[in-house]
Structure 1
């Protein structure tokens, strides 16, 4: 923990971490709030699913696009514009009753305008700390984001059930504006300027580390989404056990990230960490055959094991991306990785849903284990595509320009 204390004493680091976590807190609330609100208004989970799908598609498209815009127009301009449009879209969705296609359009706009805070902050990090501190900072970031996934769903569910879905969506708007403004006005956001990229849009995916990060992020988050679906199916939407088990899953990730964040990252680091995730999820699936009814303590214990590898794996993903691209391409690279994770979440949930209907909740856990196992295979087969960051600076490659020389 000494390395984390030293990190948080670095000027600006604690402030920017707190600001970006607050600004991203609605990410853990919006999907659930939209689902509950549209179902409440229309009486149809099918309609709610369509609106949610439109929102997710918008977020997937926006990731690399708005992230790249930050290098053209500046971080503060892009973040401010997307924040205003997103907040307005969610407010209208909450306050105005309309037909399902209109809700879908608003959901799409809200998704397209999701502020690219994650890409921005991970582009800022290398400018805040020394090269020795960057890898632990990525680990700390990956760990602390679990707070969002532990608390946000609980908060929004309580507000939606006790006060109503309209107040729940308006709460998201308030946090979105407050947290977003805090992040945008942070001095670090104003000091860091992303150079305009000289590469064509999407060319950054030709970098092996970025492509591997996008694919593995898709598979890892797909596994997590399938686990979440399996837990809900095991205990029901209203069961306190489901929240307890998912909280343990996130606590395992938080603990793993903090415990292993200081370990140097070699080419095999990703395979080892995803191997832990795969083992834990396989144990979770196997444990269902040991009891007649799902046991929350048994499932929670095995999911703690699985969770231990998640934040450390994400930390490798962030660090290898940073170390493999020019500074002008980092925001777009993180945008693509975010899009991969969104696709993984949607795919994992969909596959798990079909298997739950067919064979029960155990099918979701085996689907999650399969996602993680494929990620492990990719990490092993393409191990040469992972940079060796042991004793190496994980900062982005500097942007250089030709210098005229008089001869």
Structure 2
């Protein structure tokens, strides 16, 4: 195995420019939610209001993101992305204004909704470019390309929260939100400027209608369900790990445990992308999902922080391959004219699952302790494994590449 595969991909004409600009924007996206919490709490002193605003942001992003993706597939990335970014900048400015001026709570929540509704899905746009560039003879390189995307996303969500927390703790709670918006808008505009690598929009209404039906195929529905389950897993783990650390008198241990999970996932994603796997992606997904479900079992018996760290590292290693394989199978399941929508729906499913799980796992922790939250996470991985194993047949009946491109 050699990292030359990653280098080769990045040396493809036009790739480094769009990949690196999208990576910068992703760091800003990873900072936005936590930046809103710092901003609202710093100005109002209320965590409850900060949670409401962040919840409005997350719901708006999950609901509006696929609709923006539909416009991208119809009119093209270079036409839709710039006005979306300008709208995002205006929405962030409006949120800063209403928070600073001490406006009513409902107006502040509406400001968070505006920010979420306009934030661009740079990950989906970047994945769509990979699919367009690696079509034909280079389609076997797609798993490596999507692994590279997963690494970029993982690094963004590792660095972004740390950066925004450092800025927020410096005494300027609004600065993190400004910095996040600056990265999103500047990175997004630089990404949109790379016109040569942008996939062409759908050519006509008939093609869009035919392509849209591919989003209803059973195979794609399975992938949406798997991403919803993995979102539930993430949401439950965030609450449960914090509760476990507090119950063991070491609240500060939660952050290192999260870091262990992130680092193990990054390592697994990097190693996965280095190899050409002979096993069919749908079979790989079933095996890795089953492994993730089994890997969650030690969480139910963990009674010490080191034991929890080991179990977290074990489960974290399964996540990047699942996300990569979901992208690979989604690319194979839907028409090329709706790829951006497909990738965005997967992201929205994960976000929706994470948001819902935070409330459910919180109740489970209150009732049964931290292990109740871990039980929610384990149940999510079990559902994910069942979907992956049961969906092998549906994922097997994928259209040929020629049929997807018609």
CA distance in 2, matches of 1:52, 1:94: 14
Q: Could you tell which deviates more after superposition, 92-101 or 106-115?
A: 92-101
Tell me, yes or no, if the aligned pair for 1:324 and 1:396 is still in contact at 8 Å: no
TM-score by length of structure 1 reads: 0.89
Is the partner of 2:120 in helix, strand or coil?
coil
TM-score by length of structure 2 reads: 0.89
Aligned pairs (5 A) from 1:171-250: 171-189=179-197, 191-196=198-203, 197-199=207-209, 203-235=213-245, 239-250=251-262
Tell me, yes or no, if the aligned pair for 2:75 and 2:201 is still in contact at 8 Å: no
Distance 1:323 1:234, change over 3 A: same
Unaligned runs of 5+ in 1: 401-407
Q: State yes or no: 1:138 paired with 2:146.
A: yes
Q: State yes or no: 1:268 paired with 2:283.
A: yes
Aligned pairs (5 A) from 1:293-332: 295=305, 297-332=306-341
Structure 1 position 80, deviation (Å): 1.0
Could you give the per-residue CA deviations for residues 77-105 of structure 1, whole angstroms, max 9, x where no partner exists? Answer: 21111111112211221243311111111
Q: Could you tell which deviates more after superposition, 317-326 or 331-340?
A: 331-340
Higher helix share: 2
Alignment match, 2:269: 257
Tell me, yes or no, if the aligned pair for 1:89 and 1:106 is still in contact at 8 Å: yes
Is the partner of 1:35 in helix, strand or coil?
helix
Structure 1 position 38, deviation (Å): 1.8
CA distance in 2, matches of 1:339, 1:12: 28
Structure 1 position 397, deviation (Å): 5.0
Structure 1 position 163, deviation (Å): 3.2
Q: State yes or no: 1:368 paired with 2:377.
A: yes
CA distance in 2, matches of 1:340, 1:396: 28
CA distance in 2, matches of 1:195, 1:205: 15
CA distance in 2, matches of 1:210, 1:285: 31
CA distance in 2, matches of 1:397, 1:40: 54
Aligned pairs (5 A) from 1:120-159: 120-129=125-134, 130-159=138-167
CA distance in 2, matches of 1:107, 1:358: 31
Could you give the per-residue CA deviations for residues 213-254 of structure 1, whole angstroms, max 9, x where no partner exists? Answer: 111001012102211221222335994422211111111111
CA distance in 2, matches of 1:266, 1:172: 35
Distance 1:202 1:397, change over 3 A: closer
Could you give the per-residue CA deviations for residues 173-228 of structure 1, whole angstroms, max 9, x where no partner exists? Answer: 21112211221112445x42121552289644311222111110010121022112
Alignment match, 2:300: 285
Tell me, yes or no, if the aligned pair for 1:146 and 1:254 is still in contact at 8 Å: yes
Q: Could you tell which deviates more after superposition, 194-203 or 123-132?
A: 194-203
Which among 118, 133, 147 is matched to residue 113 of structure 1? 118
Tell me, yes or no, if the aligned pair for 2:232 and 2:356 is still in contact at 8 Å: yes
Is the partner of 2:174 in helix, strand or coil?
helix
Unaligned runs of 5+ in 2: none
CA distance in 1, matches of 2:211, 2:353: 22
Tell me, yes or no, if the aligned pair for 1:323 and 1:396 is still in contact at 8 Å: no
CA distance in 1, matches of 2:370, 2:19: 37
Tell me, yes or no, if the aligned pair for 1:252 and 1:304 is still in contact at 8 Å: yes
Superposed CA RMSD:
2.4
Q: State yes or no: 1:70 paired with 2:76.
A: no
CA distance in 1, matches of 2:402, 2:338: 9
Say how many residue pairs are matched. 390
